[in-house]
Amino acid sequence: MKVILAKEYGFCFGVRRVLKILDEQLAQNKEVFSIGEIIHNHVVIERYREKGVRFVEKPTEVEEGVGVVRAHGLPQSMISEAEHFGREIIDGTCAFVRHISKIIQKEREIHPDFSIYLVGEPEHPEVIAATADLNGMVKVIDYRTFDPVQFRVPPRAVLLSQTTLEEDVFIKIAGYFIREGQEVFVYNTICPSTRKRQRAARELAQQVDAVVVLGGKKSSNTRRLYEICQAIKPSFLVERIFEIPVEELKKYEVVGVTAGASTPDEVIQEALHYLQNL
C-alpha cells in the first residue's frame, strides 16, 4: 500500500501554545489543573493525567496550584470570577478565539444598529467562550440547520465564523447574506491552521483512493477534515490507527493520511508505520 501524508496536518499554533503552558507549569512542580479538556484528544489528555494534571470543569474548582484554561477557551467572566477568589489562572485560550470576541465588541461600538451573527456550532466550547459574556449582542447560526428559505437576513448585518468551520460552508452562508442584505460586513474568522489543513485535506483526497483522518471524535476541526475527505473519497475517522477496519482499507492501493489540529505527532507516526507495513 502506498501512503501519502497531507501537506498540512496535526498540532496547530493554539494547541502547541497551551501544551507548552502546561509543560512549563509542571516543570515548576506546581499542582496543575486543566480547566476543561485542554484539547480535544484523549491520547494527549491521558498523557497529562499521568503526569499529574487534574481536570476540572470550572475555574472556581482550581485548588492550591495553577489552573490552565483550555485552547478553545472559557468566557472571560468565569476566569475573572476565579481570580477574584484568589485562584491562579493562566488563560490558554487561543488568540484566534479571543479575536472573535474583540471583533464583535468593536462592531457593536461602530455599528450599533447592525445585527451580529456567528456561524458555528452553538454548543462548541469556542463559541460559548467567544459569546457568553456579550449579553446577547451576537446570535449564533447553527450551520447544520441553517435554512436560507426560512432565514430573513436583516438589512444591516455583521457575519463571523467559528474558527474551525469548513470554509465552503461559511462562504455559502456569507454569499446569501451579501445577496439578501443591504450592508453586510463579513469577517472570515476561520483560523489559518484550520484553513491550511482543510485545503491540504481536499488536495490529498483528490490524489488517493481513500483517506484516514486521525483525531478525537469531539474535535470539531478533525470532523471538518473528515467531512471534506468523505465528500471526495471513502474516508475513515479514527482516534488511533488500530481502530481502522483493516480488511476494508486493504482494498485501496493509495491511502492518504491527515490529522486534526489536536492530534499528537506520535499518533500520526504510529499510523504511518502501521499502514506502510500492511
For residue 94, state whether it binds ligand SF4 (rule: CB under 6 A): yes
Q: How far is the CB of 193 from ligand SF4 (least distance, A)?
A: 4
Is the Cβ of residue 193 or residue 235 nearer to ligand SF4 in the bound state? 193
The rounded distance, in Å, linking the Cα atoms of 270 and 3 is 13
For residue 14, state whether it binds ligand SF4 (rule: CB under 6 A): yes
Residue choice 41, 131, 161, 193 for contact with ligand SF4 (CB under 6 A): 193
Site for ligand SF4 in 150-189 (CB under 6 A): 163-164
Q: How far is the CB of 217 from ligand SF4 (least distance, A)?
A: 16
Q: Which three cell numbers stand for residue 256?
A: 492518504
For residue 263, state whether it binds ligand SF4 (rule: CB under 6 A): no
Residue 264 near residue 10, CB atoms below 8 Å? yes
Chain CA centroid to CA 142, Å: 15
Interface with ligand SF4: number of residues (CB under 6 A) = 15
Long-range contacts of 269-278, Cβ-Cβ distance < 8 Å, separation of 24 or more:
270/240, 270/241, 271/212, 271/214, 271/240, 271/241, 272/3, 272/5, 274/241, 274/242, 275/1, 275/3, 275/212, 275/241, 275/249, 276/1, 276/3, 278/1, 278/246, 278/249, 278/250
Picking from 262, 195, 216, the residue whose alpha carbon sits closest to that of residue 10 is 262
With contacts defined by CB under 6 A, name the span among 78-86, 89-97, 137-145, 171-179 that binds ligand SF4.
89-97
For residue 15, state whether it binds ligand SF4 (rule: CB under 6 A): yes
Residue 219 is assigned to a ligand binding site:
yes
The rounded distance, in Å, linking the Cα atoms of 232 and 110 is 42
The rounded distance, in Å, linking the Cα atoms of 114 and 135 is 15
Residue 255 near residue 4, CB atoms below 8 Å? yes
For residue 96, state whether it binds ligand SF4 (rule: CB under 6 A): yes
Q: So which residues are the catalytic ones? A: 126
Binding mask 28-67 for ligand SF4 (x = CB under 6 A): ----------------------------------------
Q: How far is the CB of 68 from ligand SF4 (least distance, A)?
A: 14
Residue 273 is assigned to a ligand binding site:
no
For residue 13, state whether it binds ligand SF4 (rule: CB under 6 A): yes
Residues at the interface with ligand SF4 (CB under 6 A): 12-15, 71, 94, 96-97, 163-164, 191, 193-194, 221, 261
